[in-house]
Structure 1
């Protein structure tokens, strides 16, 4: 379908679009009315059962870990133990209400959006997909939400608590607060919370009409002119759906600002404690309002900066402010960067195709695809035992494979990136992830930043081919706590400093993956991946035994091989359901 050119063609396209959009909207709302209650019921009942069932264990274990933690000082520990009853009591209420609201949103919008997606060019039988899409997939998605929530409450939570009671190095100091500063901190919080909530809410409400009408203006321009995000999906009337749902996005932004203002006000107490100055905390209370106003102005492309006062609330900010004032080039570069950012966000024709912004889900998919490829190699080389996979699938004990396999896959990526002299990470032959095209997501910024540093460190080592081959065995079999572990291995370098530095990179990488493994979707997708690898490995083993059976039959050893092969085949039958689950859910 060609993009309409000229006013008359655009007007006719807009008029013809209205009945098509109305029919799809009516059908989508009807499907949401039928499927939505089922999705809400599954999400609400499932999550509520998990919350209520694990709540006693969460309460007891939280108190136990807080009391035993060596990372918290005595004063901070007592303060946390005294304040724990409030969040522990509120958790079931907030969790159940959040599950209800999340189930309602998921049950309504998923069938609605699926109805519009089914009218795209990727579907051959559009009539069937308009009615079928978003029904069964929404129900399965609700079950997946419950599964991920269960993983978070049952595995991720206890993993966080285990970190809290780990031993700290002898030279490390526990985190603590000073009693002399506590009254000033509490005073700052008592002042900051009402002030910041009031003024940030006022700024949000004042700017919300701008956000509403600017969004509508942009969406209508894209709808009529077939530009912006609707150029590629010219046959799909997502513009009309976005126009209708845009007020909900504005309301959600205002609610998010109000909720965040409460925590911004509480942060003033931390500023007081860090700076040991009540004046700095009061300055932060005023400055954060100005920073929020400037952030909103940048988001809506209004005037730069803010007319509100912004006092200095950090002592380090004074010296940095002087440096910036002396550096005129910094201001010039900032304006250029702001201009480029505005062009990209407005989808300017100049930079629209110059920078391809990758999404977090794409990076997430690349990680699991890499784990699948490297998992097959490690199983074939005997670095991964099938018993380890069985323990993870059947017993849920994935502490070893859940860290080692993803960490090794990422290390392979770092080594390839270091060899290629890339400025970022070489994800595949045709994909390079840099700070420019990386997802604009705080979690992935926290994840990619350390990886780029580790890549530069590996580049400085200049590992030869023999060292890289030996590194896989060291990575999978050793704990890598001290350089002496590598003495009995074939690692060519005998430099203990070099070994210790490589082991430090390995430990940092494993710690990074350990944090990633606490994301709810990680455990589900990783177990699906292991199920697929297990079935492939068992089938390969059965095939090899079948060849051995034929060979043994020719040499008179048929009976013994038959018994071995029978056991493998029974195991394959018992595990065959994993491949079906994997085909349905995807890896």
Structure 2
């Protein structure tokens, strides 16, 4: 959509769009009011049944894992066991209340979004779709929410607890509480909670008028010029609602600062406990942290509101070796970097509006979203799964064990690990600064999703890519890695001796094994996400259909086995059709 130029054009565009906007908002809200009760019923009943039904198992298994774990010392374990019943007893109440609020918001907002998406620039049959879109899809999405929540409570949670109770390394020291530090920790936490509550709240109240007027100024300018969030039709209702409710957002920000200040102050006790025992000024360092964190908070607010850099408040160092104990709040924030770059590019004739404006939606379209990264991963797993089926590294029995018995370790861990490793190999060869996920597409920190979850996975993958680049693997080694990942062990270099690995260098083997172990750990963490299990089940169904059609299972015994699997699958899932799985257009479009 072309942004109008000139005051008259902007005013005419605004006046002509206003009635159209009001009609769409009214229609979307009417659909939301009609659909929302059904969506609320589905999510509330489904999630409540899962929470109440699994609560006894969650309670008992959590206590058992805490007792069994070797990662916690005796004193800390006793404290956790004493305090653990409180969150476990509050979990059903909080979980059901959150499900109710989330269901109401989802039932109202999603039909409204679908209404505006139906009248987008590239939409067909706009009149038909603006009335029907968002009705059935909201109900289907409600069922998906319940399914993902069930997967998390039934699989992911127990996986986290099992990891807590796993055996630890011999040289790993358990976390414990030092009794001699408890008085100092409690004193620092109490002082920090009181002082930071007052100071941080005062800073938030002092900066709230700036947030109010700067937010209104930018939103109104974007509204008149059809820029920023008003550039795309689907975002207009929420941007317009943000103008009306902006004072409430400012009040919510102040309340959020007030609540967060309590936890920031309590962290002073953790700082005291972390100071080495030979330092007698640990309490003093905790008190210094209480003052320093206010300066960090003030700097964060200045960056958020595009005010002056840094903070005028004192910032003493609360650790003697700051290089060895870096603090997350002291790292340079991306918004600060963007603001400095904008100031450097700003000409003498430009206004401050250019440096204050955030990226418009039209500029962020080129950035990847989390769902796009998920789509790439599962499409890549599908393509590589076909290749492994042809090579015999996967067969119908592996898929059968996953569908019938739930034993999916070879599929849900090893297959994604090989797909990601193949991506790392291709990225290392191309000298890419990021990850090459398609023939002409590169995923980097700049165009990747703007969330912490992506950063947690992206950082280690980039490090592993550089490690692979330094190894200079040959084609024969890369080909052998596929078999080793799917069938081999990776604990010692000697485990690869009988697997025809071309290199005899044990150091080289150990480096590759470390990379594979870390990849499997990353995939294991990803498998605990709520959407992973649902998407992976769809992938297994696609590979199952591929396995049935493959010539390697043409024997009658395997065919009978496949029929039994199909019958079992139908009984468990109700159908054998593909469940909205995003298939790639063609295999040659996917590099990895």
Change (3 A) 1:89 1:345: farther
Number of residue equivalences: 561
Aligned mates of 1:493, 1:357 — CA distance in 2: 40
Q: What per-residue deviation string (whole Å, max 9, x for no partner) do you get for residues 114-138 of structure 1?
A: 2122111122111111111111111
Aligned mates of 2:221, 2:234 — CA distance in 1: 13
Match of 1:84 in 2: 84
Aligned mates of 1:235, 1:177 — CA distance in 2: 50
SS in 1 for 2:436: strand
SS in 2 for 1:316: coil
Change (3 A) 1:423 1:307: same
Return the match for 1:385 from 387, 391, 395: 395
Change (3 A) 1:66 1:256: same
Change (3 A) 1:475 1:565: closer
Correspondences of 1:191-340 after superposition (within 5 Å): 191-231=191-231, 239-244=239-244, 246=246, 249-250=249-250, 253-276=253-276, 277-317=282-322, 338-340=339-341
Q: Does the Cα contact within 8 Å between 1:418 and 1:458 map onto a contact in 2?
A: yes
* Farther-moved stretch of structure 1 (386-395 vs 23-32): 386-395
Q: How big is the shift at 1:440? A: 2.5
RMSD: 3.2
Q: What per-residue deviation string (whole Å, max 9, x for no partner) do you get for residues 213-249 of structure 1?
A: 3233222222221233444659976643553465565
Match of 2:578 in 1: 582
**Structure 2: which 5+ runs fail to align?**
277-281, 344-353, 584-592
Aligned mates of 2:285, 2:217 — CA distance in 1: 42
Tell me, yes or no, if structure 1 residue 440 matches structure 2 residue 436: no
Q: What per-residue deviation string (whole Å, max 9, x for no partner) do you get for residues 59-118 of structure 1?
A: 111111111111111222122112212211221222122111111211111111221221
Match of 2:483 in 1: 473
SS in 2 for 1:427: strand
Aligned mates of 1:246, 1:436 — CA distance in 2: 29
Change (3 A) 1:259 1:44: farther
Match of 2:590 in 1: none
Aligned mates of 1:334, 1:111 — CA distance in 2: 32
Aligned mates of 1:48, 1:386 — CA distance in 2: 37
Tell me, yes or no, if structure 1 residue 422 matches structure 2 residue 427: no
Aligned mates of 1:389, 1:535 — CA distance in 2: 10
Q: Does the Cα contact within 8 Å between 1:532 and 1:579 map onto a contact in 2?
A: no
Q: What per-residue deviation string (whole Å, max 9, x for no partner) do you get for residues 297-351 of structure 1?
A: 1111122222333232121239999xxxxxxxx99x99876411677883579x9
Correspondences of 1:566-577 after superposition (within 5 Å): 568=562, 572=566, 575=569
Return the match for 1:520 from 530, 545, 555: 530
SS in 2 for 1:26: helix
Q: Does the Cα contact within 8 Å between 1:119 and 1:235 map onto a contact in 2?
A: no
Q: How big is the shift at 1:53? A: 1.3
Change (3 A) 1:237 1:17: farther
SS in 1 for 2:448: coil
Return the match for 2:460 from 430, 450, 468: 450
Q: Does the Cα contact within 8 Å between 1:119 and 1:236 map onto a contact in 2?
A: no
SS in 2 for 1:436: coil
Q: TM-score, normalised by structure 1?
A: 0.87
Change (3 A) 1:406 1:179: same
Change (3 A) 1:67 1:502: same
Match of 2:179 in 1: 179
Aligned mates of 1:164, 1:390 — CA distance in 2: 30
Q: How big is the shift at 1:575? A: 4.7
Q: Does the Cα contact within 8 Å between 2:403 and 2:569 map onto a contact in 1?
A: no
Change (3 A) 1:441 1:529: same
Change (3 A) 1:379 1:263: farther
Q: What per-residue deviation string (whole Å, max 9, x for no partner) do you get for residues 427-462 of structure 1?
A: 111111223323231111111111111111111111
Aligned mates of 1:344, 1:444 — CA distance in 2: 27
Change (3 A) 1:70 1:429: same
Aligned mates of 1:269, 1:83 — CA distance in 2: 18
Tell me, yes or no, if structure 1 residue 167 matches structure 2 residue 167: yes
**Structure 1: which 5+ runs fail to align?**
322-329, 549-560
Aligned mates of 2:122, 2:149 — CA distance in 1: 32
Aligned mates of 1:29, 1:272 — CA distance in 2: 52
Change (3 A) 1:413 1:271: same
Return the match for 2:357 from 343, 346, 350: 346
Aligned mates of 1:564, 1:582 — CA distance in 2: 22
Q: TM-score, normalised by structure 2?
A: 0.86
Return the match for 1:398 from 379, 397, 408: 408
SS in 2 for 1:432: strand
Aligned mates of 1:494, 1:584 — CA distance in 2: 46
